[in-house]
Amino acid sequence: MKTLIVDYGVGNLFSIASALRRIGLDVVIDSRVSSEYDLIVFPGVGNFASVSKFIKLNASKLNEVRSGGTSFLGICIGMHVMLEYGFEGGVNRGLGWFKGFVDRIKADVKLPHIGWDRIYVKTTDDLNESLNNQYVYFMHSYIAYTTEACNTFGYYGVEFPALLHKGNIIGTQFHPEKSGKVGMKFLDNLIRWLRR
């Protein structure tokens, strides 16, 4: 299965590439987006303002490729830019694939939220199977505030979406490539979901 990890100038490219190769995906890292891929990954690490510059320049092509049926996975900031807009680094537009916005965690907690924490599954589906009450790795200060249906949450002073998906788009607030066996379980679920 051919996979593109988008190089938008920031992001943790090589650890996610390694994790995806371990589950058998044919991985390319490039800034050029095209419909030749089965899966396109927006990697984590970075901030909304810097990634939104890439999004703004490539929104038309990204929407065209998504409409053509290619699946997308956004990790952390990669998920954030799938929402309508974000407040990190000013007000910046996202792709609008998920309804809502991205803002700081509004709770009396230490930021950034870094390290291992539990995720909670309210309703099981193909992507979150076997993830309930499991520990995954987080590194963020911002979360999605969304009206989209969500079955998988994290909690850090406030409940937040840990996994969003609809149609051919998936976003994770956690970093599967840094989440050990649980992260690999999610990626195994992802492969099955892609092949459905």
pLDDT over 90 for what percent of the chain?
90
Q: Does the active-site annotation cover 175?
A: yes
Per residue in 22-66, pLDDT (tens digit) is 999 999 999 999 999 999 999 987 889 888 889 899 999 999 999
Catalytic residue among 76, 113, 150, 165: 76
User: For residue 15, which of 187, 168, 165 has the smallest C-alpha distance?
Assistant: 187
Architecture of domain 2-195: 3-Layer(aba) Sandwich (3.40)
Is the separation of the CB atoms in 171 and 141 below 8 Å? no
Tell me how far apart the alpha carbons of residues 98 and 82 are, in angstroms, rounded to a whole number: 6
Catalytic residue among 113, 140, 165, 175: 175
Reported as a pLDDT band with limits 50, 70 and 90, residue 75 is very high
Say yes or no to pLDDT of 8 above 90: no
Per residue in 109-155, pLDDT (tens digit) is 999 999 999 999 999 999 999 999 999 999 999 999 999 999 999 99
When pLDDT is averaged across residues 7-12 and rounded to a whole number, the result is: 76
Over its C-alpha atoms, the chain yields an Rg (Å, rounded) of: 15
